Amino acid sequence: MTATVERPAEIVPREPVNKGREGWVRRAPLLPALVFTIIVTQLPFLFTIWYSLQSWNLVRPGSQQFVGLDNYVNVFTDSQFRGVALNTVVLTVGAVLIAMVLGLAFALLLDRQFRGRGVVRTLLITPFLITPVAAALLWKTVLFSPTYGLINFVLSPFGAGQTDWISAFPLTSVMVALVWQWTPFMMLLTLAGLQSQPHDVLEAARVDGAGSFAIFREITLPHLRRFIELGIVLGAIYLVNTFDAIYMMTQGGPGTASANLPFYIYQRAFLGFDIGQSAAMGVVVVVATIIVSTFALRLIFRSFQEES
Amino acid sequence: MTTTVERPPVQEEVAPAQRGNKVGPALLTVLTWIIGIGFFFPILWMVLTAFKQEADAYTTPPTLFFTPTLDQFAEVFDAGIGPYLLNSLFATVMSTIFVLALAIPAAYAVSLRPVKKTQDVLFFFISTKMLPVVAAIVPIYVVVNNIGMLDNVWTLIVLYTAMNLPIAVWMMRSFFQEVPKELLEAASMDGASLWRSMREVVLPVVSPGIAATSLICVIFAWNEFFFAVNLTAAQAATVPVFLVGFITSEGLYFAKLCAAATMCALPVVIAGWIAQNKLVQGLSFGAVK
């Protein structure tokens, strides 16, 4: 393990051939996927940059004209945009971290021999499989509904009454639904990590008289580290794009109290038809994401370096 | 027998200590069961409600015992979920096939026959997942509109392929790395054709990986909503879009909504249940075999 960490930044150092035809023959199988990905995922961003320099509203035909950086000035003076950006950070970081802590706890519980373990694991992974739109509907109607919701029914002995959870705590409600959906994902990853622990090392530590907590902190946690990092990075990639839950549960409201950037930009583009403005927001989001993901990529990168 | 004398006596102390403490593990087992059932309960309740009459769905306290009925499912079919299910199925299957057709050769190239810059290519793929989809939706909408492909299921197929391709390349790569290089070399020395060594050496090793990758692609494609709601209407819309429309029209009918949501979620849930181990392999990017 220690030797691989020292390795220079190269995942696949085997016989790098890069000259002439041989190189192209080797590259050929890669090209279709590469070209397709560039066309479908990168070209739109170039257009986004171009649109972001225009004033263009779809409901006013012929309104398209070049305005330079005006849209960007608007983005940065838009106090709603700042609030929404903050919501995005809170929602993503909150949901990822809570889901990870719960997922790790559940994984530790499942990493034991007991009756019905397979069944419990099956039950626990199901929220991740449920279509997000259906999951959000479930939370909105079956669980959070003020009159018929299960949450109020369960809490009624404690005097919960008919609290309208989604109106009272819109952002938190969305986060609860997301944590419910993503905890299984984190659990599966950390459980996989736990089960790949070398048993002889654990046994040796136990023989040496190490306590359970010491073993967890000194051996298990370091071993789990790359699984935890992978879970956090992948979870964040998907959760930062959260749209379905907000669309279904709150429509970003009241006002923009529970809107995140994807939802806000969607509103501007498809309800306000303001192409230029929403494109500028998109560019700002992309730049911010690039900054954050540079760190994230480094994490993934380190994980896979250790693996290979 | 003499060797046991060498053993440290610590072991014998550990065993009775573990035996004496049986209540703890039992409590943990009970706790695990409670958490599992608690997490699953909302889904169970949704499915139960789908089999209720509307009158039973609205009682406080909630009814546990009722006469099950299929009326709600019949009504969801009457409301026309059929074509939406077919669209979802078609978009999911076709995009998964395209993803595999593109990702398998790419993963082969980056793992078994690497050239320089391979690593850059890998990170390019994963970096496309980090760019927020919403930043691309405006130009995608404009282009799709201009070429007359709005409300066309093929638009979704192309976008879902692009959406799942990076993850698929990374997953498949990790499985290709398991192929024993010595066997490949031996095969090519014996004069085996590329096709034969693929079939006899590579395929047996990577086929579980293909299954795991397909499952992940199917889950994400079936559940996708953002592109579907923005780029399709009556012709090409998928099941999640149907569900949203259904809420608008039938929002006050709990049981009917639950029936629709159950039908929307069920195919993927069953697939995931059956292939749980594949799910773990895929999600850990092959870090777990």
pTM > 0.80: yes
Instruction: List residues bridging with A274 in a β-sheet.
Output: A57
Are the beta carbons of A244 and B240 closer than 8 angstroms? yes
Residue B177 contacts by C-beta under 8 Å, 6 or more apart in sequence?
A308, B111, B286
Q: Which residues 73-102 in chain A show a CB within 8 A of chain B?
A: none
Q: How far is B14 from chain A (nearest CA, A)?
A: 8
Residue B42 is nearest to which of A138, A147, A148, comparing CB atoms?
Answer: A138
Contact at CB, A293 and B127, closer than 8 angstroms: yes
* More confident call, B17 vs A154: A154
Every domain of chain A and the residues it spans: 19-52, 71-307
Q: B206 versus B65: which is more confidently predicted?
A: B206
Task: Give B199→chain A minimum CA distance, Å.
Answer: 17
Given an 8 Å threshold on Cβ–Cβ distance, is B265 in contact with A129? yes
A113 touches B at CB < 8 Å? no
Q: Which residues 27-56 of chain B have a CB within 8 Å of chain A?
A: 28-29, 31-33, 35-37, 39-43, 45-46, 49
Token pair of A147 as six digits: 């009159």
Higher pLDDT, B159 or B175: B159
Q: Is A48 on the interface with B (CB under 8 A)?
A: yes
The pLDDT value recorded for residue A103 is 96
* pLDDT band, very low/low/confident/very high, at B21 (cuts 50, 70, 90): low
Q: What is the pLDDT of residue A95?
A: 96
* CATH superfamily placement of domain B78-283: MetI-like (1.10.3720.10)
Task: Inform me whether the pLDDT recorded for B12 exceeds 60.
Answer: no
pLDDT of res. B152: 94
Residues 6+ apart with CB under 8 A from B134: A241, A243, A261, A262, A265, A266, A282, A285, B226
d(CA B237, CA B230): 10
Q: Are A129 and B33 an interchain contact pair (Cβ–Cβ within 8 Å)?
A: no
| DSSP states of A7-58 | S-S-S--S----SHHHHHHHHGGGHHHHHHHIIIIIHHHHHHHHHTTEE-BT
Interface mutation target, options A133, A230, A263, chain B, most CBs of B under 10 Å: A133
Contact B140 A192 (CB under 8 A): no
Out of A204-208, A278-282, B140-144, B179-183, which region has the weakest mean confidence (pLDDT)? B179-183
Using CA atoms, how far apart are residues B116 and A12, in angstroms rounded to an integer? 9
Mean pLDDT of chain B: 84
Contact by Cβ (8 Å): B92, B218: yes
Q: What residues of chain A, 169 to 228, have a C-beta less than 8 Å from chain B?
A: 180, 183-185, 188-189, 191-193, 195-196, 206-209, 226-227
Q: What is the pLDDT of residue B229?
A: 92
Regions in chain A scoring below 50 on pLDDT = 1-18, 308
Average pLDDT rounded to a whole number, residues B35-56: 90
Q: What is the pLDDT of residue B288?
A: 56
> Which B residues, 209 through 228, put their C-beta within 8 Å of a C-beta on chain A?
219, 222-223, 225-226
Strand, coil or helix: what is A65? strand
Q: Do A134 and B264 touch (CB under 8 A)?
A: yes
Higher pLDDT, B154 or B60: B154
A276, A67 Cβ separation under 8 angstroms? yes
**Would you call A139 an interface residue with chain B, using a CB distance cutoff of 8 Å?**
yes
The Cα B129–Cα B196 span in angstroms is 35
Q: Which residue of A has its CA nearest to B113?
A: A26
Q: Cα distance from B187 to chain A (closest Cα, Å)?
A: 18
Angle between helices B134-146 and A275-307 (to 10 degrees): 120
The Cα of B151 is separated from the nearest Cα of chain A by a number of Å equal to 15
The whole-angstrom separation of Cα A59 and Cα A73 is 22
Q: CATH: 3.30.365.10, 1.10.3720.10, 3.30.70.360, 3.40.50.2300. Which one for A71-307?
A: 1.10.3720.10
pLDDT in tens, B52-106: 888 787 776 777 778 888 988 998 898 889 999 999 999 999 999 999 999 999 9
All residues of chain B having their beta carbon less than 8 Å from the beta carbon of residue A184 are 39
* CA B229 – CA B221 distance, rounded (Å): 13
Tokens of B207: 């086929």
Nearest CB to A41; choose among B162, B258, B287:
B162
On the question of pLDDT at B13 being above 90, the answer is: no
- R_g (Cα) of chain B, nearest Å: 26
Please judge whether B114 and A226 are an interchain contact, meaning their C-beta atoms are less than 8 angstroms apart. no
Q: In sequence order, which ranges of chain B are alpha helices (DSSP H)?
A: 3-6, 10-20, 23-50, 54-57, 71-78, 81-111, 118-130, 134-146, 153-176, 181-189, 194-197, 203-223, 226-231, 239-250, 254-274, 276-283
> Does any CB of chain A come closer than 8 Å to the CB of residue B230?
yes
pLDDT at B9 over 70: no
Q: How far is B113 from chain A (nearest CA, A)?
A: 6
- Is any Cβ of chain B less than 8 angstroms from the Cβ of A1? no
What average pLDDT does range B156-163 have in this prediction?
Answer: 96
Residue A10's pLDDT is 44
